[in-house]
Structure 1
Amino acid sequence: MNNLIRIALLGLVMLVGSVQAADPLVISQGADRATPIAVVPFGWQGGSVLPEDMSQIIGNDLRNSGYFEPIPRQNMISLPTQASEVIYRDWKALGAQYVLVGNIVPNGGRLQIQYALFNVNTEQQVMTGNVGGGTDQLRDMAHHIADQSFEKLTGVKGAFSTRLLYVTAERMGANNTRYTLQRSDYDGARAVTLLQSREPILSPSFAPDGRRIAYVSFEQRRPRIFVQHIDTGRREQVTNFEGLNGAPAWSPDGSRLAFVLSKDGNPEIYV
């Protein structure tokens, strides 16, 4: 037995020695600061003030990614709205690596936005595009431009147009909590209440078409899965089994719904 212990200890010492002798981990490169980018206030050819500041939204989107740091507006030397107005030396002086400019034009009751992205170091245009929509879609169009810019500069698809589903719980008093199912932009803006209940709401999930959601509601004092149409608010109860009814998940084409039931005793996945 003593010999076995000695052999085990000797093996442990050899293992520790081999670990200590291993090559150290060396970090050779990394991004210690976000890339400076100038998102210039977009030009506006209309009369009234627009309800949303598109360039501010785009700048916030890019900053939230962690990859970019927008140049403060008060530091901008010039405010170009199109390619011919971009003076590269102005942006080189500020240390900006990229400049995004845009122009908003009224067009038959709608808005047409033209935008362009420039590389300051190479003094070249790297992207141009246009998008149209109503005044109530300014934030959507801003997120779209941020998505396009982010993908062009990083090679990664942008996610700023993503919508969130979440549940808030507000304590109204003893044994009285209000649960609210809400949808919002990825940054929490434009929050819309889809359902309120005195009972818990769990596991909200978007259908691939973005027009329906599935969730678990305890409004019948037991967990039940519902599907709700966002535009109309129409609800359909999908399950009504004893035991667990939970974890709804849509198929990629949105035609089917998978969920977990324990109606036969053990939790199992059904479609």
Structure 2
Amino acid sequence: MRISSQYAWRALVATWLTAACTIAHAQTPLTVDITGVGSNRYPIAVSTFKGTAPTDIVAVVKADLSNSGRFNQIDTGGATVGVDDSVDLGTWRAKGANAFVSGTITPAGNGNFQVSFRLYDAVNGQPLGGLALTSSQANLRLTAHKIADYIYQKLLGDRGVFATRLSYVLHNGPNYQLQISDSDGQDARVALNSREPIISPAWSPDGTKVAYVSFEKRKPVVYIHDLPSGRRAVLANERGNNSAPSWSPDGSKLAVALSRDGNTQIYQVNANAGGLKRLSRSGAIDTEPQYSPDGKWIYFTSDRGGGPQIYKMPAGGESEGGAQRVTFKGSYNVSPRISPDGKLLAFIARQGGGFKLSVQDMSTGDVTALTDTSHDESPSFAANGKYILYATQSGGRKVLAAVSVDGQTRQILQVRGGEVREPSWGPFMQ
């Protein structure tokens, strides 16, 4: 094996998994520590909503906005303002708020709640809209995330990702769990239990399935796990290693890395496990495939040039146009991820003996290191392309982190008594 780093190696590691049949609640949610904030934060005042619910909706909304690094919370002094109450926007403007939010929570029968809110432009003294959302008790946090998404988009012009989900692996003692959580790491649920490591989880485009690598058959095998039902099926169980699954944008097929014919190469397989087709053709190691957002290209890591670099080939394979090298700065670049708009390439670069999350501008080729850590791996873009989730080390422990694509906002996500790794940020939920 000529690609010798932990990043290429983890895609080929053999692990033994024991699958859970249903998703169960996890005992230890992630906690978020903000380590940096962006400049030009938007000052906003979110009032206490009238009415009550088992979940503190306002607290979730405020935390979402603050954790994004794009908002500055103006103290409301505990003021309670209902959605139909008159609002003196001049008062809030004088307190430094550019925007103000009021809301009301009312019972809606059958254990449900109606959550209504209104967003105001305090500078220009006018309403900016709002929503009335009916929610079960179990989905109140999701409702709060949707409110935060609405505010984020109205005020900043970009779609929010608070209502999306994360997947990651929690390692606690001899146990490993594939967990699915809210975007803030809360309300975590266990999709998979194991006594051995779990690697390479990847979300389907519709957010209902996760593909991953297991070793239940005494070798690496790729499975697809249906989250609502807990059922799973084998996707790739060829001779040798089966690893690194990546979904096509339409969800109809996946790219995988297989060693069935010798060196690890990139293959395509239908989501129903049929139609296996070899895509890359080299005498080197080709691994870590990722589809471009438009589905026309597959980016991958290869050492065909002597050291690990990132290449791309047509989604139909090298026979349709050959492979092109993409990264040229630095001698070691792996784990490609393309932003949803196709403008940025995120990857792990070896710098000064460490491994750092970096981004390359696809139009200029300029490369920027985004982190101040040195054990980064497994980058994953948020669905809006504004943040990147990745695994790293902090204080000697394995943690997850998120950074804005401009490098201004950084967060550390960690679990007490456990280490987290192998993150993947889920898609927008329809």
TM class, shorter-length: 0.7 to 0.9
| Mapped pair 1:52 → 2:55 | yes
| CA displacement at 1:53 relative to structure 2 | 0.8
The match for 1:148 is 150
Between 80-89 and 128-137, the greater mean CA deviation after superposition: 80-89
**Residues 7-29 of structure 1: CA deviation (Å, up to 9, x unaligned):** xxxxxxxxxxxxxxxxxxxxxxx
In 1, Cα distance between the equivalents of 2:44 and 2:92? 9
In 1, Cα distance between the equivalents of 2:233 and 2:58? 41
Q: Contact (CA 8 Å) 2:108, 2:134: kept in 1 or not?
A: no
Q: Larger strand proportion, structure 1 or 2?
A: 2
| Mapped pair 1:215 → 2:212 | yes
> Which AA in structure 2 matches 1:132?
T
| TM-score of the two chains, using structure 2 as the length reference | 0.51
In 1, Cα distance between the equivalents of 2:83 and 2:231? 46
| Mapped pair 1:197 → 2:199 | no
> Which AA in structure 1 matches 2:50?
G
Equivalent residue runs for 1:26-37 within 5 Å = 32-37=39-44
Unpaired stretches in structure 2, ≥5 consecutive residues: 1-37, 269-430
The match for 2:71 is 68
The match for 2:179 is 182
The match for 1:40 is 47
| CA displacement at 1:33 relative to structure 2 | 4.5
Q: Contact (CA 8 Å) 2:53, 2:105: kept in 1 or not?
A: no
1:159 pairs, out of 153, 158, 161, with 161
> Which AA in structure 2 matches 1:71?
I
In 1, Cα distance between the equivalents of 2:229 and 2:156? 38
**Residues 32 and 206 of structure 1, relative CA distance in 2, 3 Å threshold:** closer
SS in 2 for 1:138: helix
**Residues 20-65 of structure 1: CA deviation (Å, up to 9, x unaligned):** xxxxxxxxxxx74522211111111xxxx52211111111111111
2:113 pairs, out of 107, 111, 127, with 111
> Which AA in structure 2 matches 1:52?
T
| CA displacement at 1:235 relative to structure 2 | 1.8
> Which AA in structure 2 matches 1:157?
R
How many percent of aligned residue pairs carry the same amino acid?
A: 40
> Which AA in structure 1 matches 2:98?
Q
In 2, Cα distance between the equivalents of 1:229 and 1:254? 13
> Which AA in structure 2 matches 1:138?
L
Q: Contact (CA 8 Å) 2:209, 2:227: kept in 1 or not?
A: yes
> Which AA in structure 2 matches 1:201?
I
> Which AA in structure 1 matches 2:188?
A
**Residues 91-126 of structure 1: CA deviation (Å, up to 9, x unaligned):** 123211110111122223222222111111111111
**Residues 192 and 206 of structure 1, relative CA distance in 2, 3 Å threshold:** same
| CA displacement at 1:89 relative to structure 2 | 3.1
> Which AA in structure 2 matches 1:43?
K
> Which AA in structure 1 matches 2:230?
G
In 1, Cα distance between the equivalents of 2:201 and 2:126? 45
| TM-score of the two chains, using structure 1 as the length reference | 0.79
Which structure's relative contact order is higher, taking Cα pairs within 8 Å and 6+ residues apart?
Answer: 2
Unpaired stretches in structure 1, ≥5 consecutive residues: 1-30, 172-176
In 1, Cα distance between the equivalents of 2:198 and 2:183? 20
| Mapped pair 1:259 → 2:256 | yes
> Which AA in structure 1 matches 2:89?
Y
> Which AA in structure 2 matches 1:169?
H
The match for 2:18 is none
In 1, Cα distance between the equivalents of 2:56 and 2:91? 23
SS in 2 for 1:92: helix
- Asked which structure has the greater CA Rg, the reply is 1
Equivalent residue runs for 1:77-96 within 5 Å = 78-96=79-97
In 2, Cα distance between the equivalents of 1:170 and 1:188? 16
In 2, Cα distance between the equivalents of 1:32 and 1:239? 46
| Mapped pair 1:100 → 2:97 | no
| CA displacement at 1:149 relative to structure 2 | 0.8
In 1, Cα distance between the equivalents of 2:49 and 2:264? 54
Between 143-152 and 104-113, the greater mean CA deviation after superposition: 104-113
> Which AA in structure 2 matches 1:35?
Y
SS in 1 for 2:97: coil
SS in 1 for 2:123: coil
SS in 2 for 1:148: helix
